[in-house]
A and B are shown apart, each in its own frame.
Chain A
């Protein structure tokens, strides 16, 4: 019998309804409560679990006590296996991490967690890519791509996964936003890492497996196109992400998945560069930037690749920016434009127009950037 793990971060989302942009840290939680915030997580988790009740007898649900999953699971009619222990309802990141480790160790087929970016980060810290996971979006900040688009769809996705109709997985970004800065109106998001999630193709035809055109294939095709057109006169700033990864792999170069690397004449100049380092290398030199949208929202700049700052962009020039993305990724934006948030209004405005995006080998699309 298949096993599904469930972890609810009970306080996730409490800051949002009262305008606090997150619930990281005890003081903020207290403030949220004072402002009259009610827990969101359980309610939304219920929407997910309700979509799974018809498969109730086909899998085992493993969860943590009380508000961390047990209560809501039982409310939805499940008889979960409950492990671990927590002190009352005031759970912390430590509890999430502990729960994730213990549940993952039981070799669950999928770990469902309810929370926001902070929770995703905790899950990542606990288990990396050891277990397939899926986030139920209940938090305030949902920049990471590991979440279902809404709780109900998350349930449907898990159902398909349980029924074997979805077999493929993909790596999705975990983003980490500094809440303190976020509250003051400035978003500073870092690409924190990747979790493995089930991958649902965007078509209604039939859910298929073993196809030749998966995300990975598209990424390889993009890399082939980029490499074929590389000009040895230029420095190439390679932004983070799984879409740019095959470029470095095909060139057999050392690279960082989460950082920014610099190459010249198809050789690595240096990896994991800071903004300052980049500027030192490229100032006055001909340079191109290769970037892909990071996270679930379609950010081209300003999320997870802040090293490629407005200063760097200004130095390189708008026309030397090469954007790459698979069509699946573009389609998942549901027509919303790519976004930029460089913290520099002038640059944001400058970038806001139609752009060519490389989506495969000899294959491009025209898409729009906004801010």
Chain B
């Protein structure tokens, strides 16, 4: 059956759309603002007279000039040249947890009852949104087993940074700030787990995977000491292999006085299955734009919901949202707080959408999400391994949680076709297969994550795409290597992007460097 699934005779929209500056016609207007009242003008004049001369802008900004419909058309066209998750079988952006972001939640987020709220409004006027923030906190406490959440971090990276800030404040409070200057992570954890600590001046020790693809407890033993401030770790890591010894890891770090932070940016296979608390973590974070369905928005707005155990909740950023039985209110009274990591209360639309998503599923539904995500992943694993040239390094014959890091090494050895080539050829069939697989320990890597949102038929369609490209790699490698052929644009010249004399990050820079 599945062998016969056909790949689509796809072609992406191609408008050959110019850069917006090229569409400019002098004098056109896209929007008009209110006229100034004559009475006001009579009193204050043109408004400029109060400004110091040197502060008045001499020349109007060289923005493009377009009428309204022309702006709309331009942006709708370039939107069509973007392959959103709503439009494709988005299982190729592994680790990103591309799932369905329900449209009903967009209706809530677009309601003026939400959009027109200013963050400094009186508490009495925002009881609705505070209730949502507070209740999502309660839900996540239940899902993680931890005791208090903040939604301030605007993404996974910032959540990790907030964790590191708490780690630092915690040890400083115990007068061990100087002594504990090392943070331990693993090579297969998210790179931000190692990058964020260096912002705070920490030294980082990374653990390489053993032959099972897991960090070894013996390796951890080597890494821990009284200099250990914390362990930051993902489980399962990007390989999708669950580390069964995780409790031993946290125990070992606690024994030397360190804290344990769980990077659960992607927890899609574990809802209601296993929790941060039982694995011994002091902190964890969930990306609401991954597991909890808030849309990715081309890369944000997003939220890294950060939860902690009671003992360290005093270190959380301010304010926290509390409930006194009658009304919701802000608690700024946290003397040990790290302060703030993001303005106000975080990316609130993501909070609202995650709340609604959980309310649409409940306990049983959340568990079903994870169980199906895992079912889908293992089905896909089985089928991918049937494709000649594809392999799944480590943990042979075992099942994986929500994603797998595969390798095209064998195919590459046979045909010279690389992951990068295949990525671009998959585009010709309307699929992503993205190319960021840090830290590149697995040769010719690709990572697939078929969340609960995709049907068997859709996975079969993606598999048919992979099989087709592999066949082409053998029969006509040049076709693959010169892809994409049916996307928006053709092979990009990367050279100018790395050359300071040629790179152009804005149109004005481009014009300066490419004077005719």
Contact = CB atoms under 8 A, between A and B. Distances in A.
B206 A365 contact: yes
Interface string A354-369: 1110010011111110
A273 to B, nearest CB: 30
A5 B10 CA distance: 44
A366 B223 contact: yes
Contact of A365 (B187, B478, B499): B187
Contact of B440 (A152, A156, A202, A206): A202
A208 interface: yes
Interface string A336-371: 000000000000000001111001001111111000
Nearest to A153: B413
A204 B435 contact: yes
A76 to B, nearest CB: 15
B395 interface: no
B278 to A, nearest CB: 26
Nearest to B197: A362
A365 B222 CA distance: 10
Interface stretch (B162-170, B207-215, B463-471): B207-215
Given A210-B499, A354-B218, A368-B210, A205 B205 contact: no
A362 B203 contact: yes
A150 B435 contact: no
B380 to A, nearest CB: 21
A54 B198 contact: no
A203 interface: yes
A161 B498 CA distance: 17
B436 interface: yes
A364 B206 contact: yes
Interface stretch (A10-18, A88-96, A327-335): A327-335
Interface in A318-333: 327, 330-331
B209 A335 contact: yes
Interface string B177-219: 0000000000100000000001000111111111100001011
A351 to B, nearest CB: 13
A354 B222 contact: yes
B416 interface: yes
B205 A365 contact: yes
Interface stretch (B101-109, B267-275, B441-449): B441-449
Contact of B419 (A204, A207, A209): A204
B416 A51 contact: yes
Contacts of A364: 203-206
A280 interface: no
Contacts of A208: 494, 498
B489 to A, nearest CB: 15
A254 B301 CA distance: 55
A211 interface: yes
Given A206-B420, A365-B187, A353 B218 contact: yes
B439 interface: yes
Nearest to B220: A366
Interface of A: 51, 54, 150, 152-153, 155-156, 202-211, 327, 330-331, 334-335, 353-356, 359, 362-368
B413 A152 contact: yes
B367 to A, nearest CB: 35
B499 A362 contact: no
Contact of B208 (A51, A205, A211, A366): A366
17 contacts: A51-B416, A152-B416, A155-B416, A204-B435, A206-B494, A209-B499, A210-B498, A211-B498, A354-B219, A354-B222, A362-B202, A363-B206, A366-B207, A366-B219, A366-B222, A367-B219, A368-B210
B416 A354 contact: no
Contacts of B435: 204-205
A152 B412 CA distance: 10
B205 A366 contact: yes
B418 interface: yes
Contacts of A205: 420, 435-436
Contacts of B436: 205
A364 B206 CA distance: 6
B226 interface: no
Contacts of A327: 439
Given A362-B202, A366-B219, A368-B208, 4 more contacts: A152-B413, A354-B218, A356-B222, A359-B206
Contact of A204 (B413, B444, B494): B444
Contacts of A334: 443
Given A204-B445, A208-B498, A330 B205 contact: no
Nearest to A364: B205
Interface in B216-254: 216, 218-223
B141 interface: no
Contacts of B440: 202-204, 331
Contacts of B478: 54
B437 interface: yes
Contacts of B499: 209-210
Contact of B222 (A330, A355, A359): A355
Contacts of B206: 359, 363-366
A206 B441 CA distance: 16
Contacts of A209: 495, 498-499
Nearest to B198: A362
A204 B418 contact: yes
A356 B418 CA distance: 33
Nearest to B216: A354
Top 5 A-B residue pairs of the complex, sorted by shortest distance between their CB atoms: A362-B203, A366-B219, A354-B222, A354-B219, A365-B206
A356 B219 CA distance: 9
Looking at A51, A210, A335, the one whose CB has the most chain B CB atoms below 10 A away is A335
Looking at B218, B413, B416, the one whose CB has the most chain A CB atoms below 10 A away is B416
B416 A156 contact: yes
B419 A335 contact: no
B194 to A, nearest CB: 8
Contacts of A206: 420, 494
A206 B496 CA distance: 13
Nearest to B207: A366
A92 to B, nearest CB: 33
A356 B441 contact: no
A367 B495 CA distance: 36
Interface in B478-508: 478, 494-495, 498-500
Nearest to B415: A152
